[in-house]
Amino acid sequence: MDSPRFHDRGFFVGLRARWCEGRLTFDGQGDRIGHYRGDTMQTVRQLAEETIGREGGYVNDPDDPGGATNFGVTVGTMRRLGLDLTGDGLVDAEDVKILSRDQAVQIFLRDYYEKPRIASLPEVLRASVFDMYVNAGSNAVKILQRLLRQMGEAVAEDGVIGPLTAAAAYRAAQVAPAYLADAYGIARRNYYFALADARPASRKYAVSRAGGKGGWIRRAEDFISPRYHLSEAAFRQRISAWG
């Protein structure tokens, strides 16, 4: 089944209507997060392990602005954290190569979940925002803030989960949690398409060698209910201008 129109305006209008009609209250937080696949509930550690599975092992792709990466942890992140694992006084690709899976999990939990305050978001958003934060840093939060602004919320697009952003997200989630999760996932997908539109070298992350959906798009759709996945025809139409 085809997803909503490529800019998804109709989807967001419908979501905003549901949000405006609702009675807005808040619910509690916990250490478990909803993940769309099978509506299972996962701990943050389990989700971090799953995110590592998506990221894969060591790679140093010259087309990737992040540079050397292992388990989703970039050399830039390791420099920022001062992780000189080889003890040679430098943090470089050699340190990235020997980063362990468990070390990556700990970095994700501390620096991509706890510090950005992902737990202050509604449960239905935490998994997707966390996964996107690993992949795109504070842009994950900016995507959410832009979505909330489209719904009429007066939040800044500063990439920081503060009290206003958290409260706005809870208001939206209280009325239409599944729609909000889908809307965020679609916004993620649009973000990836926009990156590939602007930077041809990044298109290989959005489209596979066979011409199907690439890792970026599949990753976003992991957090979107199947009825809003792009069909093969719709996907090929979306990327047709890339040549």
Task: Dump strand ranges (E) for the chain.
Answer: 32-34, 41-43, 69-70, 73-74
Largest CA distance in the chain: 60
Give yes or no for a contact between 60 and 69, defined as CB atoms under 8 angstroms apart.
yes
Q: Span 38-52, mean pLDDT?
A: 73
- 3, part of any domain: no
Contacts of 81 (CB under 8 A, 6+ apart): 107, 111
What local confidence, expressed as pLDDT, does residue 39 receive?
38
Task: Give 61-117 pLDDT, tens digit per residue.
Answer: 888 888 899 998 999 999 999 999 999 999 999 999 999 999 999 999 999 999 999
Using CA atoms, how far apart are residues 101 and 91, in angstroms rounded to an integer?
18
| CATH number of residue 192's parent domain | 1.20.141.10
- 119, part of any domain: yes
Cα 139-48-7 angle, rounded to 5 deg? 35
Give yes or no for a contact between 226 and 234, defined as CB atoms under 8 angstroms apart.
no
Q: Name residue, tokens 């620096």.
A: 111
Domain span at 122: 9-242
Write the DSSP symbol of residue 90: -
- 39, part of any domain: yes
CA distances from 147 to 4, 142, 183 (A): 16, 8, 8
Using CA atoms, how far apart are residues 124 and 134, in angstroms rounded to an integer?
17
CA dihedral sign of residues 112, 62, 54, 217 = positive
Contacts of 211 (CB under 8 A, 6+ apart): 236
* Best CA proximity match to 143, nearest among 133, 117, 134, 152: 133
Task: Give 170-211 pLDDT, tens digit per residue.
Answer: 999 998 898 999 999 999 999 999 999 999 999 999 999 999
Give 3's pLDDT tier (boundaries 50, 70, 90): very low
Structural domains in the chain (count): 1
- 132, part of any domain: yes
- 163, part of any domain: yes
What local confidence, expressed as pLDDT, does residue 38 receive?
38
- 58, part of any domain: yes
- 124, part of any domain: yes
- 1, part of any domain: no
Token pair in block for residue 184: 């965020």
Average pLDDT, the chain: 85
Q: Span 25-32, mean pLDDT?
A: 33
Task: Give 200-221 pLDDT, tens digit per residue.
Answer: 999 999 999 999 999 999 999 9
